[in-house]
Structure 1
Amino acid sequence: MKTIYYHLLIDASKSMSRYWEALVKQLNAHYKTTRKVEALYTIELKTGIGVFNLDNIFLDMIVQSPAILKTIKPDSRTALYDAIITNIDFVENELLKAQSAIDTTIVFVVLTDGHENASKLYDAQDVRETIMKLQQEGNWEFIFLGADLDVNEINKILKIPQFNYHNFERSELKSAFEELNDIILKTLKKSTQAQ
């Protein structure tokens, strides 16, 4: 059976604090919708959630339900590059443990409202090289959701070809998660047709 590993990496820096309650509400609805969609296909959907800021980029890395996010109080600065590479490493290790890397499609989504301003381990070049290498493998799909960000500006920094950037207003979180629902639906359809 085909497997899709869906990893959502969420910015929990201080600038997200005003929107955190709404984000958690939308995320829970998204999670339920994703599970309903999975039932329509002969597919195994694995879900991972990463939450990041400067203080702790490993918060609640894998959870069965995003409800745990209610307990998080967004704070600190945006360690975006560290979080991206750390979470990619985490997903790769999970796939190795499950020995399912070959027949798995990985959908890796980053949701942030801030530019990088706090990473200590990695820089833009590290992120670019890592993502481009994984894109060449053919089974990784990256989506970047920027809340109130100019995604073209981010693309100028990261310079990653075929990287899916999407812009939305923080006040329109519902629309952003509806778009995520569509992305997951299309990925499931595409994966089942490739079987």
Structure 2
Amino acid sequence: MIHKYHNKTSTTMKTKIIILLDESLSMRKKRNEVIGGFNAFLREQKRLKCDTSVLYLVKFNTNVNIVYSGINVADVPELKHSMYSPCGRTALFDAISEGIHIAEEDTDDIENEKVICVIITDGEENCSKDTTKEQIRRFIAQYEAKGNWAFVYIGKNPERWTKEVGMASAHGISYNYNEPKHSFKYISNTVTKYRVSKF
């Protein structure tokens, strides 16, 4: 079931946080650490009161699964073990496309909102059905050009990834497979800085 929050138009700055979370088989060994890291990130974001923020959580393996769509961060439930069961392959490109589109469609006041899309994966694209790398490159260029979108990559071979899709190298770091909590701490710090930044 997709949980969805309907926002009311507001002059308060709204931050959309898109989390694209790898749920492929290779994440299984660190399942507990990933769940704990995500929930720690969520608790930290709930404590921040500088804006109105909503969360989109998209999991991906062979398929793409929208878990939360535009829920106020304060109302987002923590991730349970039953909600995260790694298996299958890595449809990374399809997940990025889906995350962008659900956030784009849920726009109330474009002048007073900003978007950060965080990609979390320990592997590489290997099974997207509908989206190519070139399309992702165009999407990132198109949305970054708007001035109120940012993309962050935490994954395998960040230097190569950022170069191939046209992202700034500073926006990519290696995923810490042995200690996922460190990757989620980096994510929380990055999202916090983005939420408090002025446009």
- Unaligned segments of structure 2, at least 5 residues: 1-11
Which one has the bigger helix percentage?
1
Residue 172 of structure 2 corresponds to: 165
1:49 and 1:66 in contact (8 A); partners too: no
Alignment: residue pair count: 183
- Aligned partners of 1:120, 1:168: CA distance in 2, in Å? 24
Matched residue type, 1:44: T
Residue 182 of structure 2 corresponds to: 175
Give the TM-score taking structure 1 as reference length: 0.87
Cα distance per residue 1:95-152 (max 9 Å; x no partner): 2xxx122211101101001111001101100000011000000000100111xx2212
Write out aligned runs for 1:107-146 (5 A).
107-146=116-155
Q: 1:57 to 1:143 in 2, by over 3 A?
A: same
Q: 1:184 to 1:102 in 2, by over 3 A?
A: same
1:11 is displaced (CA, Å) by 0.5
Residue 102 of structure 2 corresponds to: 90
Alignment partner of 1:45 out of 37, 42, 53: 53
Identity of aligned residues (%): 22
- Unaligned segments of structure 1, at least 5 residues: none
Give the TM-score taking structure 2 as reference length: 0.85
- Aligned partners of 2:152, 2:82: CA distance in 1, in Å? 24
Matched residue type, 1:19: K
- Aligned partners of 1:176, 1:125: CA distance in 2, in Å? 27
Residue 113 of structure 2 corresponds to: 104
